[in-house]
Amino acid sequence: MRPLKRSILKYLKQFVIPFSGLPEGEHWFDFKIEKEFFECFENTDILEADVLLRVQFIKRSTMLELEFGFSGSVKSECDRCLGPVNLPLECDEKIFVKFGNETYDEAAEVLVIPFGESEMDIGSIAYEIIYVALPMKRAHLDSECYEDVEEYISIEEEKEDKIDPRWEQLKNL
């Protein structure tokens, strides 16, 4: 388990939405996602981040509907030259939340939080959505890679092709 450092907890607190006092209906929340956000999840792949997250929060009597909208970009290491590469992040994701005793209703793809819960921590949900949305292959366009490592790159790519049979299998799907 990740050690719960005080500074991390403090930072992530801003991603908790207290909803018990809200009237039923639509509410909007804005969040700024920066490098520190990723560090809280022990992610060191992201070198920089400048992303606006808008959450449309609909409170209903029996459930919650959250629509996450991300816009901005992050910087990561290029897979080929290891230089910084800019990755646009534009995506939307809808999450349904109901109240219950189990934690996740797989059949309905609904998140479940305990009855009587008064707040919703959206930090880790946002992190997961971002992670899935970012491309697997993070690289510059060929011509934009840093030149001095080009030879190294072609050798590494050759090696990768040979040693990772999983990708071969995926191609045949």
Residue 158: CB minimum distance to Zn ion, A: 17
Residue 84: CB minimum distance to Zn ion, A: 9
Stretch that binds Zn ion, among 15-23, 30-38, 80-88, 127-135 (CB under 5 A): 80-88
Task: Considering the complex, state which of residue 30 and residue 147 has its C-beta at the smaller distance from Zn ion.
Answer: 147
Specify the DSSP element, H or E, that contains 63: strand 63-77
Residue 75: CB minimum distance to Zn ion, A: 12
Does position 140 interact with Zn ion (CB under 5 A)? The reply is yes
Does position 81 interact with Zn ion (CB under 5 A)? The reply is yes
Distance of CA 165 to the CA centre of its chain: 27
Residues 77 and 45 sit within 8 Å (Cβ to Cβ): yes
Six token digits for residue 104 = 């996740």
Nearest to 85 by CA among 138, 33, 36, 34: 138
Tell me, residue by residue from 87 to 126, as one string, x for binding to Zn ion by CB under 5 A and - for no binding. Answer: ----------------------------------------
Task: Considering the complex, state which of residue 66 and residue 79 has its C-beta at the smaller distance from Zn ion.
Answer: 79
Looking at residue 23, what DSSP letter applies?
P
Q: How far apart are CA 69 and CA 20, in angstroms?
A: 23
Question: SS3 of 115, please?
Answer: coil
Helices (H), 42-114: none
Total binding residues toward Zn ion, as defined by CB under 5 A = 6
Give the residues lining the site for Zn ion (CB under 5 A).
78, 80-81, 83, 140, 145
